[in-house]
């Protein structure tokens, strides 16, 4: 097992020395106070989850005071690896919606692409500005050793969590300014500016405005990421719109303002494909902007991410990402995939069924840590239940070995204890490709747990990248 | 600015203003309940309910008018759309949507208020806590208003203040309408205890009790109070002050000049009239009729604002 802070029981890794000293001089009283301060702050700024239960108070994600730290060298490798992956995923999208070279080269079988629900036939033959389909990619990484990083999954649609990355840093700087005097932590607060630059660099062909009008499209206040939507549009200084604020006239998209209609060039959408355009996708949908796809295809507006970008982060496609990197970029993958068995294939299914006690089984379309089985930690009955599911619907599942996620020191009842963590850094691709200098570290707050999802008792930490 | 944003800003300040009015009315009711009258204690709760426009809703829920229930209905009740709780909840839900259109301080002011009222609501209250609750509400609303001073003076600002003054004009006028009779000169009561008490209710509920003393020398008379609350441009809750400010923030809007002009044309006459009129003439014409017409006018201006800008 790998511990982010301790090299061995008595030896602290160099880059954690300052934090260790800081922890030593913190009393339980201070910890309690600071925890309460953080909670109040998060409630006040409203970085909360809506829950379906309307009478219940909104929830906040537990915040751990101890930052997770990367050295400059460690980060450099991650940065190169994530950007490489993000470029390959965009190249893959551009390819499958046009020539389909990777299929002709027999690297990926065409059935697993064209039969997927997340493949969008209406995108065929259309190329978005700069051939960028997914300008904002969140890559979920775990670490198992000093140099061993694995990609758990890619998020090419509308990855969320970046507001936590930014707010976690804000609260840390506010509560512990001295920490930032004593450690050279790379700032991250320019992320919204970079995001806006990225969106503006992806203006559609027919846009003549030197400063394209961008909007953030949200499903509304009931969405669990609503705080993030308003936070990002605020930080970028752009309008946060709902689909009722937008309408299509002629070959353009407009928003309804007090001055009358105003043309929109780029839509950073935080709603699913299905709800974009009832004329094109889901005719039952009451939300959506009728005709927006037509405007999109004729170059009147850009939609980020592109409809159909979701095929690239499908769990069945994930297996092929290392091949994509070689195929499109001619490079060796810098970050590894987790070994994955595709239960759709008979032989692999057999292996999974035989070794299910050692494996993690995931639903292909599942998320949020739901619908998965952690073999080594599950009862016989739930294992049997999954065996039945696998045999009846094999193509709905993949399986992976249980990775020994790294431990990060975490304050549990005022004591420092090791808890498992993952990492989601955010990659932007427009005119240039860049990675946030940090990311969202999620931590499994329960002892021994492997599940970092906030829906299942996960918390978050500030993530530091030390300057060179 | 998005039409929807303008609409939400407008309603945020309406709700916050309404929360304050309801709290002030409760405060008045509470004070009155401490004073004796010939038949025991004063019961002002009914007129408090009417002034808050909540009498019908209350009677649907309760058979008798009792302090505990009135307090609960006006402060916490989720079924009363104008309860302080609902006003704050609605203001906060709107603010959540348009938080990007005003300052972080304004959002914090509203969201903190919301977090606190959730805590207040969970506790059980006794009669004697009411002054704390009303004081708290007024403080919170002031915090919100104060936070607005750092806003850009753009259309969003003007929509916020349009909402505030439309709501205030309506609240002041309704209160006058419920209590107009105490301002009519009736020789047999003048100077009597009942009038003094009634006048003080009116002034307190419009947060103008001390201000009135500063503004007028000599004896308190019904005419002076009516003048103060209807025509005095120095009194921040008088009808004329509200109208002046509605006109100001309306004409300061930079969007859609032709829409602004249409609404202004509808408002012009009332504004001129109220700036030139003498209180004696109004009382002679009928204070009640005057106030009723005023309320109708404000409501039509509100409708026009919705029609022109928010659709």
SS3 label, residue B176: helix
Report whether A206 contacts A197 (CB < 8 A).
Answer: no
CA–CA separation, B166 and B9 (whole Å): 13
> Average pLDDT of A63-90?
97
pLDDT of residue B190: 45
Whether B126 shows a pLDDT value over 80: the answer reads: no
Those residues with Cβ within 8 angstroms of residue A398's Cβ, 6 or more apart along the chain or in another chain: A315, A316, A318, A319, A340, A341, A342, A343, A361, A362, A364
Q: Which neighbouring-strand residues pair with A426?
A: A138
Which of A58-72, A277-291, B174-188, B240-254 is modeled with the greatest confidence? Answer: B240-254
pLDDT of residue A46: 79
- Is the peptide bond between A305 and the residue preceding it cis, with omega within 30 degrees of 0? yes
Report whether A411 contacts A66 (CB < 8 A).
Answer: yes
* Domains of chain A with bracketed CATH: 14-333+404-465 (no CATH), 339-401 (3.30.1490.270)
Put simply, whether B152 touches A (Cβ < 8 Å) is no
> Average pLDDT of A63-73?
96
Taking one residue from A and the other from B, the number of pairs with CB-CB distance under 8 angstroms is: 58
Digit-coded pLDDT (tens) for A414-456: 899 999 999 999 999 999 999 999 999 999 999 988 888 877 7
Which residue in B242, B247, B212, B248 sits closest to B227, CA to CA?
A: B212
Query: Å from B97 to nearest chain A CA?
Result: 7
Those residues with Cβ within 8 angstroms of residue A318's Cβ, 6 or more apart along the chain or in another chain: A153, A154, A337, A340, A398
DSSP B24-41: HHHHHHHHHTTSEETTEE
> Phi, psi (5° rounding) for residue B109?
-60, -45
pLDDT of residue A335: 96
On chain B, the residues whose CB falls within 8 A of the CB of A233 are: 100
CA–CA separation, A97 and B25 (whole Å): 66
> Average pLDDT of A336-344?
92
Digit-coded pLDDT (tens) for A113-136: 988 888 999 999 999 999 999 999
CA–CA separation, B209 and A2 (whole Å): 71
Nearest CB to A258; choose among B107, B112, B309: B309
The pTM of this model reads 0.86
CB atoms within 10 A of CB B145: 18
b/e B166-198 (16+ beta carbons within 10 angstroms → b): bbbbbbbbbbbbbbbebbeeeeeeeeeeebebb
Are residues A256 and B3, on separate chains, in Cβ contact within 8 Å? yes
* Cα radius of gyration rounded to whole Å, chain A: 23
Least confident of B200-204, B225-229, B273-277: B200-204
Are residues A258 and B112, on separate chains, in Cβ contact within 8 Å? no
Report whether A405 contacts A142 (CB < 8 A).
Answer: yes
Query: Å from B109 to nearest chain A CA?
Result: 9
pLDDT of residue A53: 47
Nearest-Cα residue of chain B relative to residue A260: B256
Put simply, whether B7 touches A (Cβ < 8 Å) is no
Query: Å from A45 to nearest chain B CA?
Result: 6
Put simply, whether B1 touches A (Cβ < 8 Å) is yes
CA–CA separation, A309 and A118 (whole Å): 8
CA–CA separation, A120 and B97 (whole Å): 31
Which residue is it, tokens 């921040």? B236
Digit-coded pLDDT (tens) for A399-421: 999 999 999 999 998 899 999 99
Are residues B96 and A230, on separate chains, in Cβ contact within 8 Å? yes
pLDDT of residue B207: 78
SS3 label, residue A424: strand
Digit-coded pLDDT (tens) for A222-231: 888 898 999 9
Strand arrangement of the beta sheet that strand A260-263 belongs to: A246-249, A252-257, A260-263
DSSP tag of A414: T
Alpha helices, H only, A142-244: 162-175, 177-182, 191-200, 226-236
Are residues A245 and B6, on separate chains, in Cβ contact within 8 Å? no
On chain A, the residues whose CB falls within 8 A of the CB of B93 are: 221
Nearest CB to A240; choose among B100, B108, B115: B100
Which residue is it, tokens 């301080």? B105
Query: Å from A468 to nearest chain B CA?
Result: 34
pLDDT of residue B48: 86
Under the banding of pLDDT at 50, 70 and 90, the label for residue B93 is very high
Least confident of A60-69, A111-120, A331-340, B119-128: B119-128
CB atoms within 10 A of CB B264: 18
3-state helix, strand, coil split of chain B in percent (to 5) is 75, 0, 20
Under the banding of pLDDT at 50, 70 and 90, the label for residue B34 is confident
CA–CA separation, A203 and A301 (whole Å): 7
Under the banding of pLDDT at 50, 70 and 90, the label for residue A369 is low
pLDDT of residue A115: 85
**B3: phi > 0 → left, psi -120 to 50 → alpha, else beta; which?**
alpha
Put simply, whether B100 touches A (Cβ < 8 Å) is yes
Nearest-Cα residue of chain A relative to residue B308: A258
Burial of A440 per CB tally in 10 Å (0-12, 13-18, 19+):
buried
Chain center to CA of A9: 33
Which residue is it, tokens 């419009």? B206
Dihedral sign for Cα A223, A225, A231, A236, please. Answer: negative
Whether B218 shows a pLDDT value over 90: the answer reads: no
Those residues with Cβ within 8 angstroms of residue A178's Cβ, 6 or more apart along the chain or in another chain: none
Whether B166 shows a pLDDT value over 80: the answer reads: yes
> Phi, psi (5° rounding) for residue B264?
-60, -40
Are residues A46 and B99, on separate chains, in Cβ contact within 8 Å? yes
SS3 label, residue A6: strand
Which residue in A251, A313, A312, A246 sits closest to A277, CA to CA?
A: A246
Report whether A456 contacts A420 (CB < 8 A).
Answer: no
Nearest CB to B99; choose among A234, A242, A244: A234
Query: Å from B3 to nearest chain A CA?
Result: 5
> Phi, psi (5° rounding) for residue A437?
-85, 65
Nearest CB to B1; choose among A43, A57, A258: A258
Q: Look at A50 and A316; give whichever has higher pLDDT.
A: A316
Residues of chain A contacting B, Cβ within 8 Å: 43-46, 57, 221, 226, 230, 233-234, 239-242, 244-245, 255-260
Dihedral sign for Cα A46, A51, A57, A59, please. Answer: negative
Least confident of A237-241, A399-403, B175-179: B175-179
Nearest CB to B96; choose among A43, A46, A239: A46
HSE, CB side, 13 Å, CA atoms: give it for residue A94: 17
Nearest CB to A44; choose among B1, B93, B111: B111
Dmax over CA atoms of chain A, in Å, equals: 70
**A371: phi > 0 → left, psi -120 to 50 → alpha, else beta; which?**
left
CA–CA separation, A253 and A255 (whole Å): 7
Whether B127 shows a pLDDT value over 70: the answer reads: no
Report whether B27 contacts B134 (CB < 8 A).
Answer: yes
Q: Which neighbouring-strand residues pair with A440?
A: A424
> Average pLDDT of B75-79?
94
Whether A365 shows a pLDDT value over 80: the answer reads: no
The structure tokens listed for A132 are 């960028």
Q: Kind of pairing, strands A260-263 and A266-269?
A: unpaired
Nearest-Cα residue of chain A relative to residue B118: A57
Nearest CB to B108; choose among A44, A57, A240: A44
Report whether A258 contacts B255 (CB < 8 A).
Answer: yes
Query: Å from A213 to nearest chain B CA?
Result: 13
> Average pLDDT of B137-159?
94
CA–CA separation, B306 and A255 (whole Å): 18
Q: Which neighbouring-strand residues pair with B36?
A: B41
CA–CA separation, B263 and B260 (whole Å): 5
CA–CA separation, B75 and B71 (whole Å): 6
Query: Å from A228 to nearest chain B CA?
Result: 11
DSSP tag of A283: T
Alpha helices, H only, B181-286: 193-205, 209-215, 222-226, 239-252, 257-276, 279-285
The structure tokens listed for B199 are 């006048």
CB atoms within 10 A of CB A243: 23
On chain A, the residues whose CB falls within 8 A of the CB of B256 are: 258-260
On chain A, the residues whose CB falls within 8 A of the CB of B112 are: 44
Query: Å from A245 to nearest chain B CA?
Result: 7
Q: Which neighbouring-strand residues pair with A401?
A: A359
Digit-coded pLDDT (tens) for A307-325: 999 999 988 899 999 999 9
Query: Å from A241 to nearest chain B CA?
Result: 8
Are residues B3 and A45, on separate chains, in Cβ contact within 8 Å? no
> Average pLDDT of A150-155?
95
pLDDT of residue A435: 97
Percent of chain A past pLDDT 90, that is, above it, reads: 74
Put simply, whether B306 touches A (Cβ < 8 Å) is no
Under the banding of pLDDT at 50, 70 and 90, the label for residue B76 is very high
Are residues B2 and A256, on separate chains, in Cβ contact within 8 Å? yes
Query: Å from B102 to nearest chain A CA?
Result: 9
Residue of B98, B100, B258 for testing the chain A interface, max A β-carbons within 10 Å = B100
> Phi, psi (5° rounding) for residue A266?
-130, 130
DSSP tag of A15: G
* Cα radius of gyration rounded to whole Å, chain B: 20
Which residue is it, tokens 């609260």? A171
Which residue in B223, B31, B246 sits closest to B159, CA to CA?
A: B246
**B170: phi > 0 → left, psi -120 to 50 → alpha, else beta; which?**
alpha
Those residues with Cβ within 8 angstroms of residue A19's Cβ, 6 or more apart along the chain or in another chain: A5, A66, A67, A69, A179, A183, A409
Which residue in A415, A351, A361 sits closest to A385, CA to CA?
A: A361
b/e A396-426 (16+ beta carbons within 10 angstroms → b): bbbbbeebebbbbbbbeeeeeebbbbbbbbb
> Average pLDDT of A38-61?
72
Under the banding of pLDDT at 50, 70 and 90, the label for residue B186 is low
Residue of A258, A259, A262, A264 for testing the chain B interface, max B β-carbons within 10 Å = A258
Are residues A234 and B100, on separate chains, in Cβ contact within 8 Å? yes
């Amino acid at each position: 097992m790998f511990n982010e802070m301790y090299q061995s029981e008595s030896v602290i890794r160099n880059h954690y020395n300052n934090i260790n000293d800081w922890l030593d001089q913190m009393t339980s009283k201070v910890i309690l106070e600071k925890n309460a301060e953080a909670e109040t702050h998060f409630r006040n700024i409203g970085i909360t989850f809506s829950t379906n239960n309307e009478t219940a108070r909104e929830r906040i994600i537990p915040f751990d005071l101890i930052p997770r730290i990367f050295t400059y060298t460690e980060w450099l490798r991650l940065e190169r690896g994530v950007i490489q992956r993000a470029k390959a995923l965009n190249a893959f999208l551009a390819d499958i919606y046009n020539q389909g070279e990777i299929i002709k080269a027999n690297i990926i079988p065409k059935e697993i692409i064209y039969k997927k629900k997340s493949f969008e036939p209406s995108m065929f033959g259309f190329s978005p500005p700069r051939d960028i389909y997914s300008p904002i990619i969140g890559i979920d990484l775990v670490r198992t050793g000093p140099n061993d990083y694995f990609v758990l999954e890619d998020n090419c649609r509308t990855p969320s969590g970046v507001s936590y990355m930014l707010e976690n840093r804000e609260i840390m700087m506010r509560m512990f300014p001295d920490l930032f005097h004593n450690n050279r932590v790379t700032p991250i607060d320019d992320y919204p500016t970079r995001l806006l630059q990225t969106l503006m660099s992806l203006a559609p062909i027919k846009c003549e405005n030197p400063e394209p009008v961008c909007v953030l499209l949200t499903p509304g206040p009931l969405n669990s990421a609503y705080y993030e939507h308003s936070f990002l549009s605020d930080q970028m200084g752009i309008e946060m719109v709902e689909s009722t604020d937008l309408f299509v006239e002629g070959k353009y998209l407009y928003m309804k303002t007090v001055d009358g209609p105003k043309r929109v060039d780029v839509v950073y959408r935080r709603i699913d494909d299905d709800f974009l355009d009832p004329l094109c996708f889901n005719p039952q949908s009451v939300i959506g902007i009728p005709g927006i796809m037509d405007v999109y295809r004729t170059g009147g507006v850009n939609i980020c991410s592109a409809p159909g970008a979701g095929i690239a982060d499908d769990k069945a496609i994930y297996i092929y990402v290392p091949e994509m990197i070689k195929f499109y970029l001619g490079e060796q993958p810098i970050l590894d995939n987790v070994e994955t068995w595709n239960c759709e294939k008979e032989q692999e299914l057999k292996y999974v069924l035989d070794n299910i006690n050692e494996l993690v089984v995931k639903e292909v379309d599942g998320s949020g840590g739901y619908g998965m089985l952690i073999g080594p930690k599950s009862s016989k009955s739930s294992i049997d239940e999954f065996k039945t599911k696998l045999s009846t619907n094999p193509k709905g599942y993949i399986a992976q070995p249980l990775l020994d996620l790294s431990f990060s020191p975490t304050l549990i009842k005022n004591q420092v204890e090791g808890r498992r963590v993952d990492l989601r850094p955010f990659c932007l691709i427009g005119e240039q490709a860049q990675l946030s200098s940090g990311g969202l570290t999620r931590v499994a707050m329960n002892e021994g747990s492997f599940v970092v999802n906030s829906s299942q008792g996960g918390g978050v930490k500030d993530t530091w990248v030390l300057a060179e | 600015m998005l039409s929807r944003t303008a609409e939400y800003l407008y309603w945020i300040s309406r709700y916050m203003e309404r929360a304050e009015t309801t709290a002030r009315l409760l405060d008045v009711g509470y004070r009155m309940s401490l004073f004796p009258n010939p038949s025991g204690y004063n019961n002002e709760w009914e007129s408090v309910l009417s002034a808050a426009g909540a009498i019908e809703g209350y009677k649907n829920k309760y058979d008798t008018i009792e302090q505990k229930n009135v307090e609960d209905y006006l402060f916490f009740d989720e079924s009363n759309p104008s309860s302080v709780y609902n006003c704050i909840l609605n203001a906060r839900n709107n603010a959540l949507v348009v938080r990007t259109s005003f300052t972080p301080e304004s959002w914090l002011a509203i969201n903190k208020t919301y977090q606190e009222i959730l805590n207040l609501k969970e506790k059980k209250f006794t009669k004697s806590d009411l002054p704390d609750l009303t004081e708290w509400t007024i403080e919170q609303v002031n915090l919100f208003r104060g936070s607005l001073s750092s806003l850009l003076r753009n259309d969003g600002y003007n929509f916020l203040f349009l909402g505030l003054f439309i709501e205030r004009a309506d609240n002041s006028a309704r209160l006058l309408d419920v209590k107009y009779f105490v301002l009519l000169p009736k020789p047999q009561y003048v100077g009597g205890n009942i009038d003094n008490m009634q006048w003080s209710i009116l002034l307190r509920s419009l947060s103008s009790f001390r201000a009135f003393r500063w503004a007028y020398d000599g004896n308190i008379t019904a005419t002076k109070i009516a003048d103060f609350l209807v025509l005095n441009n120095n009194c921040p809750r008088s009808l004329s002050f509200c109208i002046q400010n509605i006109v100001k923030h309306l004409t300061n809007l930079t969007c859609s000049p032709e829409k602004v002009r249409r609404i202004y044309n509808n408002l012009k006459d009332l504004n001129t009239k109220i700036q030139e009129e003498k209180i004696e003439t109004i009382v002679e014409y009928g204070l009640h009729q005057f106030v009723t017409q005023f309320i109708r006018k404000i409501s039509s201006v509100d409708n026009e604002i919705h029609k022109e800008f928010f659709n």
